[in-house]
Structure 1
Amino acid sequence: MCGIVGMFDTQGARDIDRAALHRMNDSQFHRGPVEGDVHVEPGLGFGHRRLSIIDLASGLQPLFNEDHSVVVVFNGEIYNFRALMRELSTRGHTFRTRCDTEVIVHAWEEWGEQCVQRLRGMFSFAIWDRNRKTLFLARDRLGIKPMHYALLPDGMFVFGSELKSIMAAPGLSREIDPCAVEEYFAYGYVPEPRTIFKAARKLKPGYTLTLKAGEPLAAPRRYWDVPFKPHYGMTDRDIEGELIPRLREAVESHLVADVPLGAFLSGGVDSSAVVAMMAGVTNGPVNTCSIAFDDPAFDESEYARQVATRYGTRHQCETVSKDDYGLIDTLAALYDEPYADSSAIPTYRVCQLARKRVTVALSGDGGDENFAGYRRHRMAMGEERVRAMLPLAVRKPVFGFLGAAYPKADWAPRVFRAKTTFEALARDLTEGYFHGVSMLNDRVRSQLFSDGFRSELQGYRAIEVMRGYAAEAPTDDPLSLVQYIDMKTYLPGDILTKVDRASMAHSLEVRVPLLDHEFVEWVSGLPPSSKLRNGEGKHLFKKALKPYLSDDILYRKKMGFSIPLAAWLRGPLRETMKQAVLNPALEGTGIFNQHYLRQMVDEHQSGAHDHSTALWQVLMFDAFLRKNGADGAHGSTAQ
């Protein structure tokens, strides 16, 4: 696992600012503390920070082909590199290392841009081919590894694993993108391909970007998509019988490493399934780790212990205080742009714990997206059944009126909180799903933003992100459609971003076998009824796992990494939140309706309403501004 950076002169072959390249590379030292190096030639500079996982003695990057005409910097792991090495050797390529990085160089020589189709793994990489005068960037299919880039005003193209790396480049504007702000307050993160800055972009998962010296910047090209191609004729028994061997193979393929390896174990279905498969294919006990909370309402460590005991793992568990709220500025520095998933705090802690014993950890991320395991999937399908019974012309006025008239009852039991459901039923599937998953809905965002900022948005709404993906989805099945949207938005923008930054902060590599693209392709073709049936998500996944996990693990209520936000913001973070939300610098951005901010603070602290989600988002936005020196949406350009 590594960090990569680069500079490329799109207009010619100017000298590269070596000092700037070093600053960019050193900004992500945490991603690769073992060693680092740069390569500079006319018009091009590559930098790399290495966390050695495979072939510890060699594999220093940037890495070249035999005649040094092709050079690569690479972040990630190629799990099928040994098979590719054998195939490429038979085609006349000579290898100097046992490192997966060198496979990419020769795969480029052999297959050009199609080389990505041959790679099984998680990756972001850049290749410079001097003979073709071509720079080629690629990101893995699901977005496990990040890639940021920008074209500077002087024609210099820069890229890096983290946003901070290209922020270290001279001339990058820090002007905030108003559309990114709208998206952040809807989703809690800035979805691909935007970043918080107008001048910078993320390369979307499953995309490549090709640049040629002296030519205009081309648009990224997609090389892979989740197919959702149905497997016809498969019975439930067929699926159950095939699922476990495919899962075991995906897990086993992710175990190649020359360093200590283990797994996160929360006690949930997905992480427990990964550990069960690991235990069946490894020699000796599996290293597992989990964190416990000192508040039983948030603690699921006992379930993790059950699985650890069953499989005889070498288990490590540490207790974290439920009032572990001292990471706000740390998180702002890690994520480089506003990021409001509060589970980033326990994720940071479990990565910190894992790194004490291992360098590589497998996680269960991706199970909910694959097998429709989120509560919102059940809710969306319930709403869709109602929609199917009534035409939109009837639903929109009836449920629109009920949604507007029904009081917002955060304090009430969930069964009585019908306002959001009524509002969703007045919409189509995509808009209803967006409304259901938004951290702040359209009405709240409209109140939160100033008149001037709403005008600057020019009618843009964050739902356009989901609408874009819905329009290109390879399926029209309602459940598959919302799964597809999640795999394009929430999975890379929230889950995988959270894990990448939290793990890399501790120089820990995290692998996600449930997101092995071959496994994802197969699972996507399973009947939707095998995933969500009778209101139960992961239906056949759980049935297939019955020989490996107890019903206590398989069928208990899902918890996740929750923290007591509302209580924090009324208690120990009361003054911190008030100072941040009412900060004059925040007012100076011109983004917010200050009257509404004060109203939210007063109502939350009095207990009249729970505004913890909105206040946490504003708190993290303020932390981002303080840590990154960004200019407001109406601001000037900072260098």
Structure 2
Amino acid sequence: MCGIAGIFHHGTPKPVDPARVERMCDALEHRGPDGSGVWTAPGVGLGHRRLSIIDLEGSPQPMPSADGRAMLTFNGEIYNYRALRRELQQQGARFRTDGDSEVILAAWQRWGPDCLQRLHGMFAFAIYDLDQRQIFLARDRLGVKPLYIADLPDGSIAFASEMKALLAHPLLPREVDPLAVEDYLAWGFVPEHRSILKHVRKLLPGHFLLAGHDAALPAQRKWWDVSFAEKARGKSDDLEAELLHLMREAVGSRMVADVPLGAFLSGGVDSSSVVALMSEASAAPATTCSIGFDVAALDESAHARKVAELFGTDHHARTVSPDDWSAVDRLAGIYDEPFADASALPTLAVSTLAREHVKVALSGDGADEAFAGYRRHKFHAAEERVRAILPGSLREPLFGTLGNLYPRADWLPQKLRAKSTLQSLAGDGAAAYARAVGVTPPAVRASLFTEDFDRARGDYRAETVVEEMMRNAPARTGLDAAQYADLKFFLPGDILTKVDRASMAAGLEAREPLLDHRLVEFGARLPQRHRLRRGEGKWLVKKTMQRYLPDDILYRRKQGFVTPIAHWLRGPLAQEARKIARGSWLSRTAWFQEKPLSRLVEQHIAGRADNSRVLWQMLMLEKALSRIDPR
């Protein structure tokens, strides 16, 4: 795991100042504290910060190929690199190192862009081919590793693992994109198709960019997608055996490291499954780490401790107070773009704890998206059954009227909060799902925006991207389409961004075995009844893991990390919330109306309403943008 950066001139190959590349790399020191390097040639510069995990002394970067005709800077891990190395050696390739970086170079020289199909792992890398005078930028299938690209006024592009490295370039325009603000308020993060700055974009998951010096920059090209259109056939026992084999392979391949390795353990199904399979694959006790809270309603540490005892792990736990909001300011610096998933705070805490004992940690992320593990999947599938029975001509007037009449009763038990369900049933499945996973609804956003912002935004609406993605998904059912959107949109933009930045801020490499692309593709082929049955998500995963885990781990209600944002915004962060509407960076943009925003703040502080989600979004937007553009 590392940080990468570089500059490339398409058009005239102007000289690249190595000091600029070095400054960009210095901004990524947290991603690679073990070493650094810069290489330049006419029209190109590559930089690298290294976190040594494999071949600790033998794979410095930027790395030349064996013949010196290509240069690489690489962030990530290739889990099948040993098998690829043997295959390439049989075809005449020579290797000087024992790591995976040189295998990427040899694979590029042998197969060109088709090498990506052979790489199993998480990665973002740049290869400069000196013979072809081309740069090749590539990102892994699911977007585990990030890569930002900036268009600079001098006709070059700069690229880096994090935006803070691009901000270190003196020519980067810092104009904020209002469409990204619309996206951020809708979702709580800036999605992969956009960036908070107009002149910066992200290389999309499963895409590559191949460019030469003598032409305009081409469009990104997709090299991988996941399809829910083809379904597996077979008995449950056979599918269960295949799933277990794939899970074992995924966990085992991610246990290869030349440094201490452990796992995050929350006590939920996914992290417990990873720990169970780690323990099966090694004679030595696995090292596990968990975070607990000193409020019983928020604390899952007892479940983590039970799993640790079951498998005899070397377990490390730390209890944090939900009143500890000291890392809030640090988050803006870690994430660069505004990021409002409050579980980033405990993720940072568990990453910091893990780094005290290991350098690599396996996580359980990805199974919910691949195998329908979220509660919203259950609700969406139930709604889709109603839509299949009643045509839209009946649903729209019936449920639309009932939804408008039904009171918004957030204080009632969850089963009685029917307003959003009725409104969802009135529309189509894609629009309903986009609304269900959103953070700040369109009507609330519209009440906050000024006419100036509305003019800048035009007719763009954040939900449209997800709706179109679902309607055009390679899918058979509404649940298929929802999971497709989760994997392609929400997973990279939210979950993977959260884990990458938090772990890297602690100098820790996080690996996600349950996002092995073969597992994800297997999950997409499963018939719906093997993913969701009798209201139980991840049905086949849980059935498979019954041989390892007790029922009170497999079938307890999913909780996840919880942070008391509502309490903070009425207490220690109340004054900061008030400043959002008056005298803040946001107030000087003329994008937000002061009175409606102040009303939300005062209602929340007085306890008359829970506006914590939108206020937390606004607070993190303020902190992020004031760093990007101090004004």
Instruction: Give TM-score, length-normalised by structure 2.
Output: 0.98
Distance 1:238 1:517 in 2: 20
Measured in 1, the distance between the counterparts of 2:454 and 2:375 equals: 32
In 2, Cα distance between equivalents of 1:630 and 1:207:
33
Q: Distance in 1 between the 2:479 and 2:243 partners? A: 20
The 8 Å contact of residues 447 and 596 in structure 2, kept in 1 or not, is answered as: yes
Superposed displacement of residue 471, structure 1: 4.1
Q: Residue in 1 aligned with 2:542?
A: 542
- 1:197-223 per-position Cα deviation (integer Å, ceiling 9, x unaligned): 111001111000111111011010111
User: 2-side partners of 1:19 and 1:257: how far apart?
Assistant: 32
2:65 equivalent in structure 1? 65
State the match for 1:634 in structure 2: none
Once the two structures are TM-superposed, the CA of residue 454 in structure 1 deviates from its matched residue by 1.7
1:463 counterpart residue number: 463
Aligned to 2:607: 607
State the Cα deviation string for residues 159-182 of structure 1 (Å, max 9, x = none).
Answer: 000011112122211111111111
Partner of 1:487: 487
Q: Distance in 2 between matches of 1:513 and 1:322?
A: 30
* 1:357-414 deviation line (CA, Å, top 9, x unaligned): 0000000000101110101111111221222222212222332233333222222221
Q: Aligned residue for 1:102?
A: 102
CA contact (8 A) 1:174 1:630 kept: no
Name structure 1 gaps, 5 residues minimum: 632-639
Q: Give the drift of 1:470.
A: 2.0
Q: In the alignment, which residue of structure 1 is the partner of 2:176?
A: 176
> Who is 2:370 aligned against?
370
The residue aligned with 2:436 is 436
SS at match of 1:113: helix
Which residue does the alignment assign to 1:272? 272
Report if the CA contact (8 A) 2:264-2:362 is conserved. Answer: yes
Q: Counterpart of 1:297? A: 297
Q: Deviations over 1:284-310 (max 9, x none)?
A: 100000011000110000000111001
Matches within 5 A, 1:250-399: 250-399=250-399
Q: Size of the alignment, in residue pairs? A: 631
| SS of equivalent to 1:546 | helix
Please say if residues 359 and 508 of structure 2, whose CA atoms lie closer than 8 Å, have aligned partners that are also in contact: yes
Name the amino acid aligned to 1:572. P
1:204 alignment counterpart:
204
Q: CA deviation at 1:581?
A: 4.1
Match of 2:74 in 1: 74
How far 1:431 sits from its partner (Å)?
0.5
> Aligned-residue CA RMSD in angstroms?
1.2
DSSP-derived class of the 2:614 partner: helix
* Letter of the structure 2 residue corresponding to residue 489 of structure 1: F
The residue aligned with 1:234 is: 234
Aligned to 1:570: 570
- The answer (yes or no) to whether the contact 2:532–2:539 under 8 Å persists in 1 is yes
Aligned to 1:53: 53
| Distance across 1 between alignment mates of 2:130 and 2:338 | 38
State how far apart, in whole Å, the 2-side matches of 1:581 and 1:349 are: 30
Matched, 1:454 2:449: no
8 Å contact from structure 2 (residues 471, 481) kept in 1: no
Q: Distance in 2 between matches of 1:232 and 1:137?
A: 34
Distance 1:517 1:187 in 2: 25
Change (3 A) 1:218 1:471: farther
Conserved in 1, the CA contact under 8 Å of 2:3 and 2:50? yes
Per-residue deviation at 1:26?
0.5
| Alignment partner, residue 582 of structure 2 | 582
2:228–2:476 contact (8 Å) kept in structure 1 = no
Partner of 2:185: 185
- Answer yes or no: is the 8 Å Cα contact 1:63–1:102 preserved in 2: yes
**One-letter amino acid matched to 1:397:** P
Aligned-partner Cα distance in 1 for 2:253–2:622: 42
> Quick one: structure 1 residues 563 and 575, their matched pair in 2 at CA, closer, same or farther if it must change by over 3 Å?
same
Supply the distance in 1 between the matched residues of 2:421 and 2:455 (Cα, whole angstroms).
29
Q: Deviations over 1:82-138 (max 9, x none)?
A: 111111111111101001000011101000011101100000000000110110000
**Matched position secondary structure for 2:175:** coil
Code of the aligned partner of 2:208: T
Contact 2:409–2:417 at 8 Å: present in 1 too? Answer: yes
Deviations along 1:551-581, whole A, 9 cap, x unmatched? 1100111110011121221122222222234
1:453-532 aligned within 5 A: 453-532=453-532
CA distance in 1, matches of 2:485, 2:605: 36
- Range with bigger deviation, 281-290 or 590-599: 590-599
Instruction: Give the whole-Å Cα distance in 1 for the aligned partners of 2:550 and 2:237.
Output: 20
The aligned counterpart of 1:9 is 9
Residue in 2 aligned with 1:140? 140
Partner of 1:36: 36
Cα deviations by residue, 1:475-528 (Å, 9 ceiling, x for unpaired):
131111100000011100000000000000011000000001111111210111
* 1:208 and 1:222 in contact (8 A); partners too: yes
2:284 partner letter: G
Q: Distance in 1 between matches of 2:325 and 2:384?
A: 39
CA–CA distance in structure 2, aligned partners of residues 239 and 583 of structure 1:
59
3-state SS of paired residue (2:12): coil
The 10-residue stretch of structure 1 (206-215 or 234-243) with the greater mean CA deviation from structure 2: 234-243
Q: What TM-score does the superposition give when structure 1 sets the normalisation length?
A: 0.97
Write the letter of the residue equivalent to 1:415: K
Question: 2:578 aligns to what SS in structure 1?
Answer: helix
Greater shift in the superposed pair: 404-413 or 165-174:
404-413
- The aligned residue for residue 597 of structure 1 is 597
Give deviations 1:144-195, integer Å, cap 9, x for gaps.
0001002212211110000111121222111111111111001100111211
SS of aligned partner of 1:537? coil
3-state DSSP class of the match of 1:109?
helix
Change (3 A) 1:451 1:406: farther
Counterpart in the other structure of 2:415: 415
Greater alpha carbon shift after TM alignment, 495-504 vs 377-386: 377-386
8 Å contact kept, 2:189–2:340 = yes
Q: Equivalent residue for 2:403?
A: 403
TM superposition shift of 1:233: 2.6
Equivalent residues of 2:268, 2:554 under 8 A apart: yes
AA matched with 1:325: W
For residue 474 of structure 1, what is the amino acid of its counterpart? P
Identity of aligned residues (%): 51
- Consecutive unaligned residues of structure 2, counting only runs of 5 or more, are none
User: 1:126 aligns to what SS in structure 2?
Assistant: strand
Distance 1:116 1:625 in 2: 35
Deviations 1:565-613 (A, max 9, x none): 2122112222222223433431111221211101101111121111000
CA contact under 8 A between 1:581 and 1:618: conserved in structure 2?
Answer: no
Distance 1:404 1:588 in 2: 36
2:584–2:622 Cα contact (<8 Å) kept: no
Is the 2:121–2:140 Cα contact (8 Å) retained in structure 1?
yes
Query: Whole-Å Cα distance in 1 between the matches of residues 304 and 230 of structure 2?
Result: 35
Distance 1:352-1:232 versus aligned 2 partners, 3 A rule:
closer
In structure 1, distance between residues paired with 2:584 and 2:511: 42
Contact 1:581 1:622 survives alignment (8 Å): no
Residues 128 and 471 of structure 1: CA distance in aligned 2, closer, same or farther (over 3 Å): farther
